[in-house]
Amino acid sequence: MNFNNLKQRIGTVKTDAPVKIAVFVLLFIAAFSVNAQDGKPFRYSGQLSGWAQFAPDIPLEGWLGVRYIPQLNCRIPFESGRMLDFEVSANIFGDAGFSPFDSLAPDGRLKPYRAWVRYSTDRMELRAGLQKINFGPAQMFRPLMWFDRIDPRDPLQLTDGVWGVLFRYYFRNNANLWLWGLYGNKDVKGFEITPVNRRYPEGGGRLQIPVPHGETGLSYHFRTTDATVLQQPDAPAGAVFDRVGENRLGFDMRLDVVIGLWLEASWTKLNRDAGIFTNREMATVGADYTFGAGNGLTVTFEQLLFSYDRHPFGLAGVNTFSGLSLSYPASILDNISAMAYYDPANSDAYIFLNWKRQFNRITFYLMGYWNPETYSLPGQSTGNNRFAGKGLQIMLVWNH
């Protein structure tokens, strides 16, 4: 064994922008101070997770990691059902990839996970700060994944939040109206391929209404994006691509009849000619049903169609993905699930297996996967990926 080949890279602890860290700290202190001075109830909770991964098809085949998400909630009730509440939490993360006796690559991150304040009544809520915003009935392929990057295979369903303001109003007939405004989010979200121009706010809304046997929704979002990387060689002289308007329109419907059925679709259009990236159309149709065999086998199927084109709905190159999910409660404590994706364009299959066992506040996961070496999943990482090829992962989660 040649120990002279041992290489080490010490990862630095990375944090987000100082302003956001300051907001997080101030909200945390404010929530604690309200309780300390006025005797209002607050709740501290947290999630500690650790994992080990064996990935023989990537350069660093061994991985160890740990994550802690501390969370503080505080509620201040008023008369007539009105309430003011806070939530602050952090994402404290560290992992290390290694190849035995050859290389070691540790890394770490500390950043706010959620940091918001909300005022609510029986029919309205107004929430401001770092928060999660998501909607739509699709589960595996989500055309309305506009503000998050949740991987349906992730047992913890973790995703970064967005900085902004969200208003929701609930009508007496169960319809509800959403309005939102976002600002200061530098990273791409959802299916975005270009970042937002940080000098301009973004915003939109959603109307969700009940229909017979289900509900339907119409969503809209506008932002100014920095699309410089998409500028075409034949673009007119003086054309501005660092601040291009982008419009998104979404439609979704879910019906519960004999089986669950849903449709989720979106259309994204740039206000400049960016070649095939000028327009993007996505649509998912899905269904689920729980069979009465044994303890109940839940089967979910989704079909995704998406296209990039210079002209609206040109559909010059339609791509498809298929997804199948199975879930079976083997016992009161155990659940076995499987998820498979198929990419017909590249003849690639993505297979994921998961055994979950629940011990009161502790949850154990044993996961196995068999993926292509290069990812082509919409909304997921491309190129080299921690979960490329075959591998196993063990995860232990403690919620307190």
Predicted local distance difference test score (pLDDT) of residue 68: 97
Q: Does the pLDDT value for residue 30 go beyond 80?
A: no
CATH code for the domain defined by 132-399: 2.40.160
- With a cut of 90, say whether residue 33 has pLDDT above it: no
- Evaluate whether 200 touches 291 at the Cβ level (below 8 Å): no
Of the ranges 12-26, 40-54, 96-110, 213-227, which one carries the lowest mean pLDDT score? 12-26
Nearest to 400 by CA among 28, 111, 44: 44
Query: What gap in Å lies between CA 185 and CA 193, rounded to an integer?
Result: 14
Query: Residue range 381-400: average pLDDT?
Result: 84
What are the pLDDT digits (tens) for 219-277? 999 999 998 888 777 666 656 788 899 999 999 999 999 999 999 999 999 998 888 88
Residue by residue, DSSP assigns 90-136 as EEEEEEEEEETTTEEEEEEEEEEEEEEEEEE-SSEEEEEEEE-----
Q: What average pLDDT does this structure show over 30-42?
A: 56
145/148 Cα distance (integer angstroms)? 6
Mapping DSSP to helix (H, G, I), strand (E, B) and coil, where does residue 260 land? strand
Lowest mean pLDDT among 12-16, 77-81, 293-297, 358-362: 12-16
The one-letter code for the residue type at 272 is R
Encode pLDDT of 227-240 as tens digits: 888 877 766 665 67
Q: What's the pTM?
A: 0.87
388: left (phi over 0), alpha (psi -120 to 50) or beta: beta
Spatial distance between the Cα atoms of 67 and 59, rounded to a whole number of angstroms? 23
Give kind and range of the element (H or E) at residue 33.
helix 18-38
Q: What is the pLDDT of residue 268?
A: 96
Residue with tokens 């075409």: 232
* Section 151-174 average pLDDT: 95
Three-class secondary structure of residue 332 per DSSP: coil
Residue 67 amino acid letter: R
Q: What is the pLDDT of residue 131?
A: 97
Q: Where are the domains of the chain?
A: 1-73+91-115, 132-399
Q: Give the pLDDT confidence of 274-308 residue by residue, as tens digits.
A: 888 899 999 999 999 999 989 999 999 999 999 99
Radius of gyration in angstroms for the set of CA atoms belonging to the chain, rounded to a whole number: 23
Q: What is the pLDDT of residues 188-203, one digit of tens each?
A: 998 998 999 989 999 9
Summarize pLDDT for 111-154 with one digit per residue, the tens. Answer: 999 999 999 999 999 999 999 999 999 999 999 999 999 999 99
Q: Can you tell me the distance from the alpha carbon of 160 to that of 162, in angstroms, rounded to the nearest whole number?
A: 7
pLDDT of residue 167: 98
Give the per-residue pLDDT at 102.
78
